[in-house]
Structure 1
């Protein structure tokens, strides 16, 4: 006996859903609740593979992973050496991962939103293996947590995926990302893995509350992507395995909650670190280090920010009397605190959903340092992202050759007032919402039940 599940391996949060009493329900994970924040902590990157191998071996699942990692011995040695050197030899996930990272950001390995990196261009085979290990470790932890609730082993899953993982070379990016996720899921013990577009999954969830046939424009603003679809749905209609029977159009791009965090970070927080300063001759200092520091979802940008030549440039500038404030961004770099600053931006973004202003403590960079961000400035900073989102929506409406009856807004950023206001002013379509965080998981669960259980697979 095994369990069938919907699996939202999200940019911001992860969740499992199962069918209970003919309805999709989210699994309440013992250590995390319904949602596991998508973060991982390791004392050193080299120990991840060894830790994963040990967990898989404890359940007799290690052989496929062992065959795929011929140099596994080095990681196991690193794991043993870390323990001998007094380091923790365990990985941590979710809030626990963030807590451990904050103890000493410069002396650990911390990943936030690994899904954001899966479609990146130019990654090496070693980096791709690292992404597989990070995803597989997170998936194994989630699966272990879910099964601690009394579920039979989870063997068949439908995993949500964005329409496009990246904006550039989307076909290559999508292939790469889904292959990484598939291999990671198989390593973690899932026997059958299928994928479903996240906006379609959200639409399936919305169908549960439909009273009549409607053209539903689904706008799913997740942590990493915005995914749009137009679905023709009716109350109680059977789910067809042929998407083209009810999907009229779809599109997506890498514009998500993380990008709004970055916009707030760069435009509202980085000035406190010196981004708008001018040198003694009245020349603006380079913006690139501040953009790179804020872009925590971009491997190339983060690598460039932490390079020695970036440090040398900032140190040279900081010697000028007009530019002493740059010591703050130097501290950010030297202490590897870009994720900590990004977390501040995210908290401020959430606070601005209800408040006109939010105070942001930055005392980890300098004693008593703080700044205030306001909703108007953040909304202005987000305009380019909103315009890109509207291009996606316009494209889907054009594909569908019909007007939507309703706009179903979902995803982690769906509560933001400036997003709702922008969509209403531009489209004037009746807007509805449901569980912003759980709608995709519920739809994935319905689809998993359809293709694995009712279809007899």
Structure 2
């Protein structure tokens, strides 16, 4: 049996073909979408749990070494894993939110897969993370279908990482392939996510069109210009129909991070000053600005290095020194609470909730507990648009890039991906390509459905 598998940055989903149409399968309770999150007692628990409770062996000698080290570290900490100790999706998020300091939590591991400078044991661990998530999803899908699923078309972005080029893409795709193989898939193909979304739109066409598929996902924005329609349907070789591609690791997560940075982090001291070296300005003395990285790193949840730099033990001393020198020490006390209680994910989640609310209203009242405080602030639509201007422009630059590769303009723009629901992104796209109609289907499910259609073409 085959599936289309969207291993997404924000959510994962799978679909089968039933009676000639894609059918998404429930993966968490009755939901067809499971958040791309994992929660465990410790970092090392993931590798041990995968082996002990998910019946998945290491790939090679290095994997065995990582597993043995994980088991030994857990024993030193008197951690005896039980079934259910590693959680996925919304359940993982709920557990993390109950006590962020007491668990190991990862959101969107797909964001890390193309990162440069990773050593071998990091690559093995990321593979274990992905494999455990894939194994959980495969098991849920097989429970629904009551059939063994051995074949999968897995979606992938045009580019996994902003830097690294094809080396980064090969690394990331290799991790996904190895993880999927260890999870039990025997035949694996990959398809570009915007192409998959386009394939789902193509199923509705009765005449040929040139389609610009724009997929704004959680971690990446990808564009493909494709000739589509009845003449191309069911062809296994679509090379001549693919007119251009562009993609970058900029997506909904970046919108959330920039919104958190510009609008929320001032509550934690961003933009405030220290009582350090005094300089003269307009006949008045002022302090030294706080270092920006201390406010960016905790919320840069898609950057392994930034997270490590902020939460490492040595940074605690630096944060305490900043509070001591701060003109507004109460704000730096909140930043210390972020460090001590691992609140970076919670801050970004509040920004995400704000972004979603501002899709339908002009103002949102944000409420967030931090230590013994209850922080409150209002954010309006214009403030959000200004805060996310940098990632928005990067997305629009990708449209310019893909159009420069082709000799024709699109007849229609097919817009998909969770972040594509934001009206301000649609307006930005309309300004980029005026007079080209924009259509959309299932914002979350178009890629998955297209992957299932392609799976039928290559495996059916």
Fold match (TM-score > 0.5): yes
How far has the Cα of 1:32 moved from its partner?
Answer: 5.4
Answering whether residue 317 of structure 2 is matched by residue 322 of structure 1, we say no
- Equivalent positions of 1:53-64 (< 5 A) are 53-57=51-55, 62=57
How far has the Cα of 1:343 moved from its partner?
Answer: 1.1
Query: 3-state SS of the aligned residue for 1:217?
Result: strand
The answer as to whether partners of 1:47 and 1:89 remain within 8 angstroms in 2 is: no
Query: Scaled by the length of structure 2, what TM-score is found?
Result: 0.93
- 2:429 is aligned to 423
Q: Which moved more, 1:170-179 or 1:89-98?
A: 89-98
- Equivalent positions of 1:246-261 (< 5 A) are 246-261=241-256
Query: Scaled by the length of structure 1, what TM-score is found?
Result: 0.93
Q: Which 5+ residue runs of structure 1 have no aligned equivalent?
A: none
Answering whether residue 133 of structure 2 is matched by residue 138 of structure 1, we say yes
- 2:178 is aligned to 183
Distance 1:24 1:87 in 2: 36
Counting strand residues as a fraction of each chain, which structure ranks higher? 2
- 2:23 is aligned to 25
Answering whether residue 453 of structure 2 is matched by residue 446 of structure 1, we say yes
- 2:353 is aligned to 347
- 2:441 is aligned to 434
The answer as to whether partners of 2:2 and 2:150 remain within 8 angstroms in 1 is: yes
- 1:291 is aligned to 296
Query: 3-state SS of the aligned residue for 1:413?
Result: helix
- 1:98 is aligned to 93
Distance 2:200 2:326 in 1: 58
For each residue in 1:349-387, what CA deviation from the matched residue of structure 2 results, as whole angstroms up to 9, or x when unmatched? 111111111112121344222222111011012222222
Mark the CA change 1:312 to 1:388 in structure 2 (over 3 Å): closer, same or farther: same
- Equivalent positions of 1:118-129 (< 5 A) are 118-129=113-124
Distance 1:357 1:71 in 2: 48
Aligned length: 448
Q: Which moved more, 1:358-367 or 1:344-353?
A: 358-367
- 1:397 is aligned to 403
- 1:409 is aligned to 415
Distance 1:349 1:407 in 2: 23
- 1:303 is aligned to 308
The answer as to whether partners of 1:410 and 1:439 remain within 8 angstroms in 2 is: yes
How far has the Cα of 1:37 moved from its partner?
Answer: 0.3
Q: Which moved more, 1:24-33 or 1:430-439?
A: 24-33
Distance 1:20 1:118 in 2: 32
Distance 1:232 1:25 in 2: 25
For each residue in 1:125-176, what CA deviation from the matched residue of structure 2 results, as whole angstroms up to 9, or x when unmatched? 1111110000000001001111111331110000000000011121111000
Query: 3-state SS of the aligned residue for 2:253?
Result: helix
How far has the Cα of 1:75 moved from its partner?
Answer: 3.2
Q: Which moved more, 1:405-414 or 1:339-348?
A: 339-348
For each residue in 1:175-195, what CA deviation from the matched residue of structure 2 results, as whole angstroms up to 9, or x when unmatched? 000000011001100011110
The answer as to whether partners of 1:208 and 1:236 remain within 8 angstroms in 2 is: no
Residue 219 of structure 2: which of 215, 221, 224 is its match? 224
Distance 2:336 2:142 in 1: 45
Query: 3-state SS of the aligned residue for 2:385?
Result: helix
How far has the Cα of 1:319 moved from its partner?
Answer: 2.0
How far has the Cα of 1:17 moved from its partner?
Answer: 0.5
How far has the Cα of 1:251 moved from its partner?
Answer: 0.9
Mark the CA change 1:314 to 1:81 in structure 2 (over 3 Å): closer, same or farther: closer
For each residue in 1:431-451, what CA deviation from the matched residue of structure 2 results, as whole angstroms up to 9, or x when unmatched? 000001000000000001110
- Equivalent positions of 1:269-284 (< 5 A) are 269-280=264-275, 281=278, 282=286, 283-284=288-289
Distance 1:388 1:137 in 2: 33
